Amino acid sequence: MRYFLYKLSSFITTIIIVSIMIFFVFQLLPGNPAQIILGIDADPHQVAQLEKQLGLDRSPVERYMDWVTGVLQGDLGESLRYQLPVSDIVIDRMPVTASLAILSLLFTVVIGVPLGIFIARSDGKWISIFLNVLTQLGISIPSFWFGFILILIFGVTLQLFPTYGYVPWSEDFLGALRSFFLPSFAIAIGNIAIVIRYLRNTILDQSKMDYVRTARVKGLKERSILYGHILRNSLIPVLTIMGLLIADTLGGSIIIENVFSLPGLGNLLIQSITSRDFPLVQSMVLYIAIIVLLINFIVDMLYKVIDPRIRLKG
C-alpha cells in the first residue's frame, strides 16, 4: 500500500508540474497570441474579441486555474480552427492512434522477445553478430525513414499494402489491418531493436548468476534452465522499459501519421500547430502527457505485482 500511495502521489505531482509547464510555456510565447492566430493584418476589433475568448484580459494564474478546472471536468476548451470542443475532436481521432500503438506494441513483443532469446542463445556466433548489427541500425534510424522504405518496397513496388489513409475497423477488419500494418511496423522497428538488445543483455547477465550454476550442477537441461529460471527473471526488468517504449510509440506516431496520411492525434497535433490553434495544441500536449504518465504508473504497479521484492525506498 505504501508503494501504491508513493507512486500515486508522484503521478499526481508530476501531472501538476507538467500542466504548469505546458500552460506557462504557451504564455511565454513572444507577441500577442490573439494577434499571432489572426495575423498581423487582422482587424483590431476581432483581435480584442479573441483576446477575451482566450481569457487574455485576466491574469495568468486565473487563466491557469480556469483551464485546470475545465480539464478536471472533462472540458479541454474549444478549438479555434474547428469550432468544436477539444475533447470531441480528440475522441474522434483517438481510435487511429490507439490502433497504431496497440499494433506497434504487439509487433514489439511478438518479434522482439523471441529474437532477444535467440540472440542470447547464439551469443558469439555469426548470426548473433549479424542480428546485433541490425538492431543497432534499428535503434539509430528514425521511424519515419523506415516508413518511407516500407512504402517504397511494400506499397509502391510490391503493392501489398496501401500507402496512405485507413479503413475503419467496423467497416472492414482486414482492410483496416492492411492500412495499419506498415505504419505500426515502422514505429515498432526501433522498439523491437531495443527489446532485443535489452533482453539479450539481461539473459546473459542472469546466466552468470549462482542459481543458474546450481541448476546446472543438479543436472537440469539447458532448455529447462533457460525457460524455467533465466527467462522468468529476465522478463521482469524488460517490463520496466515498456512505459518508455509506449511513450516512444506515441511520439513516433506524430510523424508516422503524417507520413501515411492517417487522421490520428499526431496528425491533428501537427495540423493544429501549423494553423496556430493554440488552445487545441495546449490541451492535446497535456492529454498526451497524461496518457504517458498513466501508462508508466500502471507499468510500475504491474512491476510491483510481478516482483514483490520491490519496496518503498527513501
> Residue 283: inside a domain, yes or no?
no
Q: Which residues contact 177 (CB under 8 A, 6 or more apart)?
A: none
> Residue 298: inside a domain, yes or no?
no
> Residue 135: inside a domain, yes or no?
yes
C-alpha radius of gyration, the chain, whole number: 24
Chain-centroid distance, C-alpha 273 = 19
> Helix (H, G, I), strand (E, B), or coil: what is residue 297?
helix
Q: Which residues contact 307 (CB under 8 A, 6 or more apart)?
A: 236
**pLDDT tops 80 at residue 161:** yes
Domains in the chain, number = 1
pLDDT confidence bin for 308, thresholds 50/70/90: low
Q: Give the CATH number, domain containing residue 149.
A: 1.10.3720.10
161 secondary structure, DSSP code: S
Whether 199 and 118 have beta carbons less than 8 Å apart is answered as no
Q: What is the per-residue pLDDT for 111? A: 94
Distance CA 261, CA 284 (A): 19
Burial 86-113 (b: 16+ CB within 10 A, else e): bbebbeebebbbebbbebbbebbbebbb
Q: What is the per-residue pLDDT for 30? A: 65
**pLDDT tops 50 at residue 312:** no
81-115 pLDDT tens trace: 788 888 888 889 989 999 999 999 999 999 999 99
> Residue 313: inside a domain, yes or no?
no
> Residue 166: inside a domain, yes or no?
yes
Least confident of 48-57, 73-82, 135-144, 303-312: 303-312
- Of 68, 95, 74, 89, nearest in space to 271 by CA: 89
> Residue 75: inside a domain, yes or no?
no
Q: What is the per-residue pLDDT for 314? A: 43
Between 56 and 257, where is the model more confident? 257
C-beta atoms surrounding 166 within 10 Å = 22
Compute CA distances 284 → 132, 171, 202, 279, whole Å. Answer: 37, 28, 37, 8
> Residue 237: inside a domain, yes or no?
yes
Compute CA distances 92 → 42, 89, 95, 236, 252, whole Å. Answer: 31, 5, 7, 36, 20
> Residue 171: inside a domain, yes or no?
yes
Whether 60 and 71 have beta carbons less than 8 Å apart is answered as no
Compute CA distances 297 → 42, 205, 273, 302, whole Å. Answer: 46, 27, 29, 9
Distance CA 177, CA 305 (A): 33
pTM of the model: 0.81
Angle at 282 between CA 279 and CA 284, to 5 degrees: 105
Give me the domain span that covers residue 264. Answer: 94-276
Q: What is the per-residue pLDDT for 296? A: 82
Distance CA 270, CA 288 (A): 14
Least confident of 49-58, 60-69, 143-152, 264-273: 49-58
Q: What is the dihedral of CA 215, 218, 219, 221, to 10 degrees?
A: -20
**Could you tell me how many helices (H) and strands (E) the chain has, helices first?**
14, 0
